[in-house]
Amino acid sequence: MANTDKAASRAGALRGDFYASDDGASRSERLQYRGVHFVEAFLIRKRDNRLVGQSDPFYVVIE
């Protein structure tokens, strides 16, 4: 997930990096900003940090 707009910048909430899973192989995040969010998922193998899978980019609309 990437937060790159002015509201995220003012809130100190800029995003756009890789983050570890919360528990096992999943990750949950709260969305604080309305609008269209661009999302991609990456599967990185823990034993060697190798990229082994990637989703197509998709959009999530938060109203």
Residue by residue, pLDDT tens for the chain (63 residues) are 566 678 778 887 777 777 777 777 777 777 777 888 888 888 888 899 999 999 999 998 888
Q: What is the pTM of this model?
A: 0.58
Region for residue 54 given its phi and psi (left: phi exceeds 0; alpha: psi -120 to 50; beta: otherwise): beta
Find out whether 18 and 42 touch, Cβ atoms under 8 Å.
Answer: yes
pLDDT at site 2: 60
